Amino acid sequence: MLDAQRYKPGNLRSEVHFTRLYICSHVLFGALPILLFLLHSLFACTIAVLVWYTLTLGLVYGMAQGRDACRMGLSVVFASLPICGVIFLGQILPEWKPETPPLLPLIVLPFWLGLWNLIYATATVFTWNSTYLKKACSVGFKVY
């Protein structure tokens, strides 16, 4: 009973606001690699990132319902983006020769993909360890 009173949504107002901001920033900026891969004419990577993004949105919904396992799952899915990005930058990009030039120059690709790898590697560790996210996921919240 005391735990139910301690962790009711009214007491965790700052944690819920922070989690909403964190989730909304992922929803807005997480879709950007889909557009950038599309502008680089890398359609297989576009589909892969679209599947990744859809999976993260499902896990975000689970977090909002108060399932803490979805928070840990989101952290694991976040980790897959930097791992695949490093493999892409190290193995695929040096040997990729497009037949037609993409809309964005190829010199930009390593910069933004490296930046996204760094951002989501940090988000992986933060999502796994954040007490704010743990408390907000324990009671559930509304994203909007």
Residue 51's pLDDT is what?
A: 96
DSSP assignment of 122-136 equals HHHHHHHH-HHHHHH
Tell me the C-alpha distance between 10 and 48, whole Å: 39
Q: Which of 102, 110, 124 is nearest to 40 (CA)?
A: 102
Output the pTM of the full model. 0.85
Task: Kindly report each contact of residues 59-67 with a partner whose C-beta sits within 8 Å and lies 24 or more positions away, as own/partner.
Answer: 60/23, 60/26, 60/27, 60/143, 63/19, 63/23, 63/133, 63/136, 63/137, 64/23, 64/140, 64/141, 64/142, 64/143, 65/140, 66/137, 66/138, 66/139, 66/140, 67/137
Q: In the numeric block, which tokens belong to residue 50?
A: 């679209």
Written as tens digits, the pLDDT of the chain (144 aa) is 555 555 555 556 788 888 899 999 999 999 999 999 999 999 999 999 999 999 999 999 999 898 889 999 999 999 999 999 999 999 988 888 888 888 988 899 999 999 999 999 999 999 999 998 898 888 887 877
Residue 128's pLDDT is what?
A: 94
The 3-state DSSP class for residue 24 equals helix
